[in-house]
Structure 1
Amino acid sequence: TKSFFKRNSPELLHKSWEIVVNEANFVRKCIGADSSQDDLWGKLICTNFKVSFITHDSLPQQCTHRLLGEHDIPLACVEQVVTVNDAKGKQKILGCNKKLKFNPTELILYCKDFRIARFRFDEAGPESAKKVCLAIAHYSHPADTQLLFGFEYVGTRFYSSSGNKVNGVDPGGGLQTPLFDCSSDWDREIKRTGASEWRVCSINEDYLVSPSLPEFFVVPSSLADQDLKQYACYFNSQRIPLWCWNHSNGSALVRMSSITEPQQQRKLDQRICSAIIKSHPLRSDVLKTDLDKILPNIQEIQTALVKLRQICVIDPFEESEEKWLSSMESSRWMEYVRAFLKHAVEVIYMLEGKQASVILQEEEDRDLSCVISSLVQVMCDPHCRSLAGFQGLVQKEWVMAGHRFLDRCNHLKKNDKEESPLFLLFLNCVWQLMEQYPAAFEFTEMYLIMLSDSMWVPVFSTFLFNCPRQRAEHSRDFALSKSISLGKDQSLRFPPVWDWSQQFSLKDQALFNNPLYVGKSAPCVHNGTVPTTCSQANWTC
């Protein structure tokens, strides 16, 4: 056994960017809840990227991950680090700088992906057990964005010491997924949806107008750049109205933040609505829905997830099925999933049945609007149910539109009040649609799971930042600190999650493809029946 621990070391991504921080030998990983019969013995290791457990035994895996082993947990996925001392009857939750006054006999890691990992130190040295626990607690709470592992990974892997790019990535993972970071991607989307009266706007180049908008986005052709610059100061975070998508009948889906100057409210509403009306071939009305008034807020959604996690990970099957189902209902998670799906269908009715353009308004237009705009397009547009189309949709409506992934995922564990699982909620809504229309989607449940799990692998640009500007600024600062010459890029090129070859082989990626997929033969995928009437309280002209 001793020779095993001497001989076996963790599979590091590369010694120059993933380093072992601390380790403990003769550790037991608890597998069964009631018995130690199935427990595994091995070495527990903390690196600057993951918690790794190396054991003699291994279990068959459906997918082999290229960045993580069978028993690995990325540090970004660790929600809570709990140490236990059986003899003293003590338990302590460890944070970044907390001290541990007792030698732990057990370590429990509560993970954001609903896993619980338990390790026993009965045979391990007490000091090594304490050190590895403290290392996990410290490295799972990075003090700054640039301490996230993705910076070290990208800075070393994709650039040589001279600063030349040494290993490019295929941003679409072979699927030609548009990243919407250039005007040509937006041009293609305009042509694809037939939005002939809309144009690509570049007034936000170098983020001069709004810090959270992309450099390129789409606006009505009748609105001049000078007018847009003038209007920007009246919108929350200078987030002027953004085009999302066009229905085949000409109705447009638009999203915007709230207007901060009440005295300008009516004037701006009229100008924006007039421009959208001109972009419609039938000059149809424009309807507006205030998402903050009719949908749960980010704190309510986070509370629902916390309750759901407690129900799912604490021996749920010890209770009767009826009690477990009632607990699920009381978490309100499914109620919120239902609320978002229902409102997306109402928006579709306005676009399709009323042939009216719709404006989604939210205080800052970075959370609830991401979910609703995406669901509407998934339901109405067969292209968004293809693999490449769905990936482009997430890139357009979440990443480039400035969803706060860094804060909502709480990667730095600094502000729990900002944490909220909006993207997980969206994926859950998509799964509900897939269950109703299994042949309408090119991708599988496995794909949604892997996409969700990728949020906690702090390597991909998709989930690391709050907006494109933050990505550019932080990567530029990191490059300067490491003397990396960026050349034409002007920022580190983080791989998007859509470059699936970073995580899986082509054979494993085949599990993402739905063999029942029928392509565009299912034009509409609604959650239930589209209502013939909608609550007028939710809509204003």
Structure 2
Amino acid sequence: RFSLKPKCHREIVVNEVSFVRKCIGADSSHGDLWGKLICTNFKVSFITHDALPMQRFQVANRLLGEHDVPLACVEQVVTVNDAKGKQKVLCSNQKLKFNPTELILYCKDFRIIRFRFDEAGPQSAKKVCLAIAHYSQPADPQLLFGFEYVGKQYYGSLGRYTVHSINSIPTRVNGVDPGGGLQMPLFDRPSEWDREIKRTGAAEWRVCSINEGYVVSPSLPEYFVVPVSLADQDLKQYLCFFTAHRIPLWCWNHPNGSALVRMASISDPLQQRKLDQRICSAITKSHPQRSDVLKSDLDKNLPNIQDIQAAFVKVRQICVIEPFEESEEKWLSSMESSRWLEYVRAFLKHSAEVVYLLEGKHVSVILQEEEDRDLSCVVSSLVQLMLDPHFRSLTGFQSLVQKEWVMAGHRFLDRCNHLKKNDKEESPLFQLFLDCVWQIINQYPAAFEFTEMYLTVLSDSMWIPVFSTFLFNCPQQRTENSMDFAKSKCIPVGGEKALRFPPVWDWSQQFTPKDQALFNNPMYVGKGATCVQNGAVKSFRRTKVNYPGTVPDAWK
């Protein structure tokens, strides 16, 4: 009666159990659903003929059913035995000494899902629980479902990922869908950086290719932008003095000529002053008015990744595990004590200070961080979002994330903890960024082409392990793992052939055109957007932060 028709190519059923009850109500069994619980190599699936009421503005994912949870989204697998009063958190390849009567899945998207096995076979229930625990904690990146998904479907030219027809999606060549699909830069080729240089009017900046083949730095993209006055030979000499060989990267140019740059710390103290002067001199020469360059040390001025993770864990505890156990006043007090909103405010405030320097003071700004792969991603993105209307469009926002997060080497694999190997490396930097964006959208709703729904599905997509966007720590790791996987599966690569992971930006892989329409803000008015503040109409584009004095102490 209950059967699973896999929605994803190469998805296979690992284990299943029938006569399972999915708990819907918190206090009673009223409204619970009966069906079959299935574990595949991609997701936990619950198949039932009963239906929940359709919620307003709900979207249907092409890769996931109404009751499906991607294995990468499972944070913790807990089994319970009522009779023995036992509870156990399951890990990969672990034995279970009792037959579970209940399974609780704690999910990374703030869901708690409960299944009861009162009528199910005890051994079958135990096996499916162990399978979920095992497959939700892969030991190696290549065991993530994305590699199986890509193995046959996305095999084509090195020039762009090539999508062959899947789930009735038209063929795309060179990253462009004639029907209106993916049409945005992925920043994996010099021509796309050239276009960004021209779009922002950064005449004194050039595309650098010294990292082709990732020979210089494994965490940098193959192509990036540097001042015209810095020769390739000079850059190669400076490499060894920067942490992880991450030399300064251009992010964006203001129309007044000021540049936003990010770079790693200089690891050699003896060379620090000399290199600082050389880099600042080159950036100054790239400014039409030869304005000053100011440096912001993000490690000193903002919370670290451990603090952000600790705050996020507290928020999850408050919102998911104990949402209704306290009064509203105490709940709000608990939220405040988590410090999450304090950190959101800190990043927004710091970004506004950088905006003031770039636009108000006409100076270039260097964002400096130990390895330039975490805090700088958040700040550089927020600054550009505040200053450039292009990045407040849907396509522009996606290109911003692609440029400042994916290509710049944010450690999505580690920070999302997809392999559940090192909890100390886990930190929700991208969720923090999306929360900051949500805060700005709520202040200036007409300035953004995309909606809260779009931010939600983008966040949820982090836990669907088929997209290159969130699967790797850097472009080099994606290339290396793709080659290794191809060899292990005897898939011929080399020359003009390669495995191409699809980016998340091709939304037709997950949603119909009708559902994608919910991403678009009907109030969007483009760069002329205004807001009402204290009874006065103000332009979003020209809103500035007025600080007492001149330059804040943090910038001296």
TM-score range, shorter chain: over 0.9
Aligned residue number for residue 120 of structure 1: 116
Distance 1:383 1:377, change over 3 A: same
Q: Which runs of 5+ in 2 are unaligned?
A: 157-161, 166-170, 530-538
Matches within 5 A, 1:62-461: 62-159=58-155, 166-167=164-165, 169=172, 171=175, 174-461=181-468
**Are the counterparts in 1 of residues 154 and 502 from structure 2 also a CA contact under 8 Å?**
no
Equivalent residues of 1:378, 1:525 under 8 A apart: no
Aligned-partner Cα distance in 1 for 2:344–2:542: 14
Decide which of 5, 27, 43 is 1:11's aligned counterpart. Answer: 5
Preserved contact between residue 52 and residue 71 of structure 1 (Cα < 8 Å): yes
Q: Is the 8 A contact 2:155 2:498 kept in 1?
A: no
Q: Tell me the equivalent position of 1:536.
A: 552
Q: 2:327 & 2:396 partners in 1: Cα distance?
A: 42
Cα distance in 2 for residues equivalent to 1:195 and 1:529: 25
- Using the TM superposition, give the Cα deviation of residue 536 of structure 1 relative to its aligned residue in structure 2, in angstroms: 3.5
Match of 1:480, SS state, is helix
Normalized against structure 2, the TM-score is what? 0.93
Aligned match of 1:44: 37
Q: Distance in 1 between matches of 2:109 and 2:495?
A: 38
1:20 aligns with 2:13: yes
Following superposition, the deviation at residue 353 of structure 1 comes to: 1.2
Q: Report the secondary structure of 2:4's partner residue.
A: coil
How far, CA to CA, are the matches of 1:530 and 1:502 in structure 2? 45
* Cα separation, 2, equivalents of 1:79 and 1:136: 11
Cα distance between partner residues in 2 of 1:95 and 1:526 = 53
Counterpart CA distance in 1 for 2:191 and 2:91 is 46
Q: Which amino acid aligns with 2:414?
A: D
Distance 1:159 1:208 in 2: 25
Q: Answer with 166-175 or 241-250: which moved more.
A: 166-175
Residues 21-63 of structure 1: CA distance to partner in whole angstroms, max 9, x if unpaired? Answer: 0001000000000110111001000000000001111232521
- Offset, 1:317: 2.8
Q: Report the alpha carbon displacement of residue 82 of structure 1 after superposing the two structures with TM.
A: 0.3
CA drift at 1:533: 4.4
Match for 1:504 among 475, 489, 511? Answer: 511
Deviation at 1:354, TM superposition (A): 1.1
Does the Cα contact within 8 Å between 2:356 and 2:545 map onto a contact in 1? no
The 3-state SS of whatever aligns with 1:233 is helix
Q: Structure 1 232/363 Cα, relative in aligned 2: closer, same or farther at 3 Å?
A: same
Q: Which string of whole-angstrom CA distances, capped at 9 and with x for unpartnered residues, describes residues 206-252 of structure 1?
A: 01111100000000000000000110110000000000000110000
Structure 1 CA distance, aligned partners of 2:17 and 2:309? 35
Any gaps of 5 or more consecutive residues in structure 1?
none
The amino acid across from 1:214 in the alignment is P
Alpha-carbon distance in structure 2 between the residues aligned to 1:181 and 1:440 = 29
- Distance across 2 between alignment mates of 1:526 and 1:21: 56
Q: 1:24 to 1:535 in 2, by over 3 A?
A: farther
Alignment of 1:507-526 (within 5 A): 507-522=514-529, 524=540
| Alpha-carbon spacing, 1:535–1:57, altered in 2? closer, same or farther (3 Å) | farther
Tell me which amino acid in the other structure corresponds to 1:49: F
Deviations 1:297-322 (A, max 9, x none): 00110111100001001242342111
Deviation at 1:489, TM superposition (A): 4.6
How far 1:176 moved relative to its partner? 1.4
Partners of 1:456 and 1:530 in 2: CA distance:
40
SS in 2 for 1:143: coil
Letter in 2 for 1:56: H
The amino acid of 2:350's aligned partner reads: H
State the SS of the aligned residue for 1:227.
helix
How many aligned positions are there? Answer: 530
SS at match of 2:499: coil
Mapped partners of 1:331, 1:362: distance in 2: 25
Contact 2:138 2:419 in 1 (8 A): yes
Partners of 1:530 and 1:394 lie apart in 2 by 28
User: Structure 1's 179 and 489: CA in aligned 2 closer, same or farther, altered over 3 A?
Assistant: farther
Structure 2: distance between partners of 1:88 and 1:28: 20
Q: 1:527 to 1:155 in 2, by over 3 A?
A: farther
Q: Which residue of 1 aligns with 2:474?
A: 467
In structure 2, what is the equivalent of residue 54 of structure 1?
Answer: 47
Looking at structure 1, the residues matched to 293 and 498 of structure 2 have their Cα atoms a distance apart, in angstroms, of 40
> Residues 345 and 527 of structure 1 are in contact (CA less than 8 Å); yes or no, is this contact kept in structure 2?
no
Q: What's 2:168 paired with?
A: none
Q: Sequence identity, in percent?
A: 77
Query: 2:27 corresponds to which residue?
Result: 34
Counterpart amino acid of 2:68? D
TM-fit CA distance, 1:535 = 6.1
CA gap of 1:227–1:150, structure 2 versus 1, over 3 A, is same
- 1:166 to partner: Cα distance: 4.4
Helix, strand or coil at the partner of 1:491: strand
Does structure 2 conserve the Cα–Cα contact (< 8 Å) formed by 1:349 and 1:532?
no
Partners of 2:127 and 2:345 lie apart in 1 by 46
Report how far residue 487 of structure 1 moved.
4.7
Contact kept in structure 2, 1:198 and 1:219, CA below 8 Å = yes
Q: In the aligned structure 2, how far is the partner of 1:309 from the partner of 1:36?
A: 25
TM normalised by structure 1 equals 0.95
Distance 1:140 1:289 in 2: 40
Contact 1:200–1:217 under 8 Å retained in 2: yes
Tell me how far 1:527 sits from its aligned partner.
Answer: 8.8
Distance 1:53 1:248 in 2: 53
SS in 2 for 1:18: coil
Question: Match of 1:177, as an amino acid?
Answer: M
